[in-house]
Structure 1
Amino acid sequence: MSEHQDGPDERHRRPEGVDDKTVEALGSLSKALETTERARGSLYAFHQLTGGADLELDRAVRLLREAGHPEWADKVETEILGRNIIPGHWTFQIVEAYDHTYYRPFQELERAAVDELAQGRDHLYEAEMKEARRTVGHPDHTARP
């Protein structure tokens, strides 16, 4: 099998005329977006954890009443239950604002850059790194699935 047949598939091969700096820049842009994906996941975890805690307060209020502490039940119910996380916002509104203001524009820009600068070919930096680091002919170092 020739090296070309054993190497990356066409969609992971650098298009003609795309230089090293462009591949590196697109790799960096992609890495930044991947980090943003992780941040977004943390934001959703924050949203779900905060929502779960707020729902658990229903149980706390009920138990405080059953235990004969109606004044504490009232304080939890009026001071914390359903409270805004930041002024005017519950967590779902923070998630929506993040998605609209930052995440989606970043995602769209990264896609447009890859489309224009690399003919839509994703992960060129990583594909070239894989090719440079693999042992050709080793059964666990194949270029393609």
Structure 2
Amino acid sequence: MITVFSGSAAYNSYVSLNEADDYMTARNIAAWASATPVAREAALISATDYIDINYQPREKAENIELLKRACLMLSISALAGPLVGEASQQIVEQEKELSGVGKTRLRYAETDGFDRWPLVTQMLRPISSSGGSGKGWRSVGVEK
């Protein structure tokens, strides 16, 4: 069941099912019309989760219309399957001789960071705490 964002911490969607149905009907999105109400709600919840995890939006109440639009756009894809998948990554190791420190080995993971939704990323970038989706790296260790 959807709990729509209203400024409180207890929510799981930026958009109500009725709002989404109106939006999709106006745009003649056939996949939405043919999906069950349970599947449509799950898609809205998945889209909201994706936004919150990947973009960490600031000032949600002030930017709710932008968040709703992004949620609606992502929910169409969420009907077809998960919005996230395993990113390919490569572990990179570098050894360097640092003056005053000695030999240091750095290990980190590079991900391909392919952004499946560049329009959503562009829309949410101004309010994103995380910088949005994209190529990145993650430290996995430094040894001396």
Q: From the two aligned structures, give the one with the greater helix fraction.
A: 1
Higher alpha-carbon Rg: 1
Q: Which TM bucket (shorter chain)?
A: under 0.3
Q: From the two aligned structures, give the one with the greater strand fraction.
A: 2
Return the TM-score normalized by structure 2. 0.25
Return the TM-score normalized by structure 1. 0.25
